[in-house]
Amino acid sequence: MNIIIRLREKYAALLRDKQIPLMQSRIRILTFGLILMIALLLIITIKSLLREDYKTAARLVIPISAMCSGLYLMFEKNNWQLAGHLFLLSLSSVIWTNILMYTYGINLVSLQITLIIISASFYILGKNWGIVYSLAGVIPVVTHLLLTNGQNGKITVTPLQLNNSSFMLALIVNFGILITMHYEFFKSFFKSNSKERELNSQLQSALKEAQEATKLRADFLSSMSHELRTPLHAVIGLINILSVENPRKDQEENLAVLRFSAENLLALINDTLDFSKMNEDQITLNKSPFNLTILLQNILATFRPKAEQKKIDIRLNLDFENVPLHIIGDQTRLAQILNNLISNALKFTDNGGQVEILVATKNRTEKHILLHFAIKDSGIGIPKNKQEIIFEPFLQANNNITKRYGGTGLGLAIVKRLIGLHLSKLVLESEEHVGSAFSFEIKYELALSIVSPEAVQLVKPAISTISNLNILIAEDNIINIMLLKKILDQWNCNYSLSKDGKEALDMVKTGGFDVVLMDIHMPVMDGFEASRHIRELPDVNMSKIKIIALTASSDVDIQQSFSYTYLDDYLTKPFSSQLLKEKLEGVVQQLSGK
């Protein structure tokens, strides 16, 4: 009794180890097959000994021993595969000896055992061994049928066999094994399908939850970006206004500290939001014609004051310097790439160093141009063993760099991904204490000249006629209204105020305005909806009014909005007063060109 209990415990433990339904089914099929076949062969052997049929008893001892060894291997050594081989070899030996040692040829039991071998070999050991053992069981049967002319077309059960209890027992047991094998296999099959369906359902639920969490995170970041940019716009804007109102020397120093802190905070917000959008694959390239020469000159002008402050020699070298280059691409993203790289070059270059911006033509055809960009500096350089990790988010070459120079470690990660969107790679060449060079290549489509070559000037002349514009300000934030009024008052502009989109729409219908400075997030009616209604006005002069969005939302949020098409242009807060002036001057140029 103790042996039976121990075997049951071993069997239960073996099933627990195999969590997959198909594996459990294989264990059950093998266990039932071994036990039933051992019992059947033992009974036949004992009966043969009682009839003094020592020949039959002797040939059955070998398969019985092999199957008992299989049970031992399976329960004691946890080696069910070898047990399966012993089981199938034993059955094959029964087939071969039946045909070779007896004259009655192939009977119903022999065919049953052949079917058991074919089914069990595939179910227990898989397709490869299934083919091997199937052939081992089928070949002797087919060979015998060929040699005996198909046994004259008869596979019989004789009256002697029907009266033989061993034969009838074998017939019944073999049917039982066949039924058990197929039952266990298809039970495991349906159980696996049920688990698969359950798992798929769980995966779908998890995927839906992940998508909802991602959307919530994106909405949260977008909302936080808006809420942070709005007061920051006021801070930076007022700093700029105070800076041009003839401050005292001590006030200039205080304003410089404020500007530095505010701009660093703005850079942190922008980098965090951009990196989040890139992780969600929400950033795409928006291609439009632009003048690369003017873009590069403007970028150089932006960084020149900082370079002069550190006495850094910053240079721009173009191989098309005297010929304006008009291309089609994403001007904003190219500027973001260059701004990040140049900012890093200036940051990590000590006083009296050198920064060089190189742009060269690698290849040019009638329709396309391949440009090579390189930003070189004589800064601190990057050790060889750190040149891979600096492209990872939030990582810098070492902690001392973070403490000394600041930064989030997102800049190069963003640059690398933006360059990847252009189907290119960022290449780094650097030597510690000597300097670094970041380079990349981008292929652009050539564009027709945006303006005639004679009219191209690198520095646009100031246009004072913006004072003649009738400007409508649609803004609900009191601080932003105050800031806009101060900026526009500097240029003696004519402006009117509306506190929401509905009021702005009603004022546009009066027909007295040339341009609308439209905030996006407003009560009653937001800026997008107000812009849509304006475009739908029947009066062409009203519906074609210039609309410039002033928003604390990110570039990506604006450009991905369906309502973006209702806008003529946009500025993301905080923006410089000079950039707003350039936008208004553009409106004047367009109106004067009618």
- DSSP class per residue in 327-345: EEE-HHHHHHHHHHHHHHH
User: For 298-324, what is each residue's pLDDT tens digit?
Assistant: 889 888 888 998 999 999 999 886 778
Core vs surface per residue 425-461: b (16+ CB within 10 A) or e:
ebeeebeeeebbbbbbbbebeebeeeeeeeeeeeeee
Asked if residues 40 and 169 have their Cβ atoms less than 8 Å apart, the reply is yes
Closest residue by Cα to residue 546 from 500, 593, 476, 491? 593
**Is the predicted pLDDT of residue 158 greater than 60, yes or no?**
no
Asked if residues 380 and 433 have their Cβ atoms less than 8 Å apart, the reply is yes
Core vs surface per residue 187-221: b (16+ CB within 10 A) or e:
ebeeeeeeeeeeeeeeeeeeeeeeeeeeeeebeeb
The CA distance from 207 to 481, in Å, is 44
The CA distance from 440 to 387, in Å, is 16
The CA distance from 319 to 364, in Å, is 13
Confidence of residue 459 (pLDDT cuts 50, 70, 90): very low
Q: Is 354 helix (H, G, I), strand (E, B) or coil?
A: strand
Q: What is the mean pLDDT of residues 495-522?
A: 92
The Cα-based distances of 467 to 244, 245, 470 in angstroms read 19, 20, 8
Q: What is the mean pLDDT of residues 108-133?
A: 87
Quote the pLDDT of residue 504: 94
Closest residue by Cα to residue 101 from 53, 139, 64, 67? 53
More confident residue, 266 or 446: 446
User: For 51-62, what is each residue's pLDDT tens digit?
Assistant: 888 888 888 899
Q: Is 434 helix (H, G, I), strand (E, B) or coil?
A: coil
Q: What is the mean pLDDT of residues 5-32?
A: 78
Confidence of residue 403 (pLDDT cuts 50, 70, 90): very low
Question: If you ran DSSP here, which 8-state letter would residue 462 be given?
Answer: P
The CA distance from 109 to 168, in Å, is 9
Q: Which amino acid is at 10?
A: K
The Cα-based distances of 413 to 285, 403, 468 in angstroms read 17, 19, 45
User: For 161-217, what is each residue's pLDDT tens digit?
Assistant: 555 677 778 778 888 888 888 888 777 777 777 777 888 888 888 888 888 887 777
Contacts of 296 (CB under 8 A, 6+ apart): 316, 318, 338, 357, 359
Its sign, for the CA torsion 103, 108, 112, 118, is: positive
HEC readout, 82-112: HHHHHHHHHHHHHHHHHHHHCCCCCCHHHHH
More confident residue, 265 or 407: 265
The CA distance from 347 to 134, in Å, is 75
Label residue 363 exposed, middle or buried (CB < 10 Å: 0-12, 13-18, 19+): exposed
HEC readout, 410-422: CHHHHHHHHHHHC
Q: How many residues in total does the chain contain?
A: 594
Quote the pLDDT of residue 377: 94
Neighbour tally for 400: CB within 10 Å:
9
